[in-house]
A and B are shown apart, each in its own frame.
Chain A
Amino acid sequence: MLNNVNLPWLPGQYYAAMKWEFWWQVHFKGVNVVDMSAASLGDFLYIAVFFLGGLGFAVGPFILVFFISPRKTRNIANKTGQFIECGMDPIGPAWIRYGVVYYLYALIFLAFAVDVLFLFPVALVYDSGQFAGGIRDFVEIVIFVGILSLALVYAWKKGVFKWDRKVYHRQ
């Protein structure tokens, strides 16, 4: 470690702090590096002064500005409070409700995606020697695709593919 390093240009206490024995004593043997008994009221005063200084630095400008800035602004059309800052009158709130037709339509893509995802490995091995010729594999694929297709049938029945705006009534 640093025991072998000769650093004559460092003052003694810094050099001591670089050795691991120093920190070992601090942490595990309870040696007081800073003697807390010597901490007087003056030390806490320093903290208080710095705390108040920091607080004043942050809050002070707000107070200062409150007193030396003009309190209101000249008006010629009474539009000072208008939220939109481009000069045009807003035509309604931004929190509008809109149709989710495309959202439902996009969800159906998931059914297609799962379908295709599992059919790729099937397509790879279907013609290999291990599986070729069996009617059982074909039936299994038909069952798999058939179950997935029920999702489409369900969506179709629900009218997802009709591009109509859906109106929901709250109970």
Chain B
Amino acid sequence: MGSESIPSSIIQLSTVDKVLEIGRANSLWPMTFGLACCAIEMMAAGASRFDLSRFGAEVFRPSPRQCDVMIVAGTISKKMFPAVKTLYDQMPEPKWVIAMGNCAISGGPFMFDGQYGIIEGADTFLPVDVYIPGCPPRPEALIEGILELEEKITGSRRWPRVESGLSQP
């Protein structure tokens, strides 16, 4: 998308902004909003076994006007396209977008020549901050995406980075 101007406040104090950023990063409020099967993994991430609330992001709000993060969890069909745009408009600033799963990244398995039903990726019309690959991604991947977003907001990683078990010798 290139550079984009983000609406700012009347008064800007860098120290206050840093404090606010820490607060925002550790209390991300996603929207209760699922488009396809990735939403099932999102629900699992919010439930007790994976427990997104450990990272402060469990408050899935039913209204876009109370949300920070839009997790585009699933295929954006052309039927839902206007709804996604409307919901993004109704979120107050500061707001971030997570593209969860292959469909939200690029159209995934539904992207082929001559397809007529889906939007090929959330970043064709939304300023996506974090991409989470997978079909669908596991709940741990969503949690890692939330942590990446926190890192993007504050500039530093609060939680230790977990190495993949497969890469260990």
Show the binding face of A for B, using Cβ within 8 Å: 66-80, 82, 85-89
Residues in A whose Cβ lies below 8 Å from that of B22: none
Report yes or no: A79 in contact with B86, Cβ–Cβ below 8 A: yes
Shortest distance from the beta carbon of A33 to any chain B beta carbon, whole Å? 49
Q: Are A79 and B85 in contact, CB atoms less than 8 angstroms apart? A: yes
Given contacts A71-B7, A76-B89, 10 further A-B contacts (CB under 8 A): A67-B10, A69-B93, A70-B6, A70-B94, A73-B91, A74-B95, A76-B88, A76-B125, A80-B90, A88-B86
B89–A75 touching, CB < 8 Å? yes
Indicate if the CB atoms of A66 and B90 lie closer than 8 Å. Answer: no
User: How many A-B residue contacts, CB cutoff 8 Å?
Assistant: 77
Main secondary structure, interface of A, reads loop
Complex Cα–Cα for A170 and B80 (A): 42
| Contact partners of A72 in chain B: CB under 8 A | 7, 93
Q: Are A70 and B89 in contact (CB under 8 A)?
A: no
One digit per residue, 1 when the CB lies within 8 angstroms of any chain A CB and 0 when it does not, for chain B 62-94 equals 011100000000000000101111111111111
What distance in Å separates the Cβ of B123 from its nearest Cβ neighbour in chain A? 12
Q: How many residues of B contact A (CB 8 A)?
A: 31
Q: A77, B85: Cβ atoms under 8 Å?
A: yes
Q: How far is the CA of A10 from the CA of B32 in the complex (A)?
A: 58
Q: Which of B116-131 contact A (CB under 8 A)?
A: 125-127
The answer to whether B93 touches A85, judged by C-beta atoms less than 8 angstroms apart, is no
Whether A87 and B87, one on each chain, are in contact in the complex, defined by CB atoms closer than 8 angstroms, is yes
- Pair B7/A74 contact, Cβ less than 8 Å: yes
Shortest Cβ distance from residue B122 to the other chain A in the assembled complex, whole angstroms: 11
Given contacts A73-B95, A74-B95, A76-B125, contact A66 B89 (CB under 8 A): no
What are 6 contact pairs spanning A and B, CB under 8 A?
Answer: A74-B89, A76-B126, A79-B90, A87-B83, A89-B82, A89-B86
A161 to chain B, nearest CB (A): 44
Distance A43 CA – B44 CA, assembled complex (angstroms): 59
